[in-house]
Amino acid sequence: MPPRLLPLAFAPGFPLASFIHSVGTRVGPGGTGAPRGHPGHRRSRHPPTAGSTTAAADVPAQTAVDAGAPTPPPLPASGATHTVTYRGRPIAVSHGTRLRTALIHAGATPHNGGSKVICCRGLGTCGTCAVAVRSPPAGSTDAVGGHPGLSPPLPSARERARLAFPPHTAEASAARGLRLACQVRVVGDVTLAKGEGFWGHQSGVLPPLAEG
């Protein structure tokens, strides 16, 4: 288990055995514990000589700062802002801002209780920033097109995988319209609610926030 996720093992209800079984670490040659292609993977100290070739697998891939996060949509020339209504509080958000970042900066964190501290910091692996997307105006979205106020409008593969892992379930997540705030960007108006529980996975919703 990655060190930053280790405290999650002590959170109530966390399925530690299932997590360890499903998240294996592929150890690269040399016993470094880093997968091949990772910057921590050991490589030869001797640079290739003229005329020699280097296998593509031995060249570390460029690592994104926020791995797996969706590419932000282009920022309009007008510098447009949108309204994110979270737990009843309207928040002005610049176009293309990551939802989790916008909520935290507005003092309206998408994390419940101890998950404010014990979380993956935006990697999309802990599932504690799950928020419930409320239906936008009629005709502006459907089951195929997703929500036009979020990018991507439909859950990504990473979101679907985490929102199907306990204590979340695929069925409940889909029925409630859950999205991971760290994996989406704001590209339009959207209304959100937050479920109860450490992971925000329970059916009850938190009460409205006081005006900030």
Taking the C-alpha atoms of residue 8 and residue 31, their distance in angstroms, rounded to an integer, is 26
Q: What's the pLDDT at 22?
A: 52
User: Which pLDDT belongs to residue 187?
Assistant: 95
Task: Give the count of domains, the chain.
Answer: 2
Same domain, 116 and 169: yes
The answer to whether residue 182 sits within a structural domain is: yes
Are 53 and 112 members of one domain?
Answer: no
pLDDT at 174: 92
pLDDT at 5: 54
CATH number at residue 87: 3.10.20.30
**Running DSSP on this structure, what letter comes out for residue 44?**
-
163 and 107 together in one domain: yes
Same domain, 175 and 118: yes
pTM over 0.85: no
pLDDT, tens digit (0-9, with 9 covering 90-100), for 144-181:
568 999 999 999 999 999 999 999 999 999 999 999 99
Q: Residue 47: which domain range?
A: 1-60
Q: What is the pLDDT of residue 165?
A: 95
Same domain, residue pair 16 and 104:
no
Domain contains 111? yes
Shared domain check, 131 and 51: no
105 inside domain: yes
Is 169 within the bounds of a domain? Answer: yes
State the pLDDT at residue 67: 45
Do 14 and 103 have their domain in common? no
Please report whether residue 134 resides in a domain.
Answer: yes
Is 76 domain-assigned? no
Residue ranges of the chain whose pLDDT lies below 50:
21, 23-35, 38-41, 44, 46-67, 69, 75, 77, 138-139, 141-142
Whether a cis peptide bond, with omega within 30° of 0, leads into 35 is: no
Instruction: Give the whole-angstrom CA distance, residue 141 versus residue 191.
Output: 13
Q: Any residues with CB less than 8 A from the CB of 126 and at least 6 apart, and which?
A: 5, 8, 115, 118, 119, 120, 162, 199
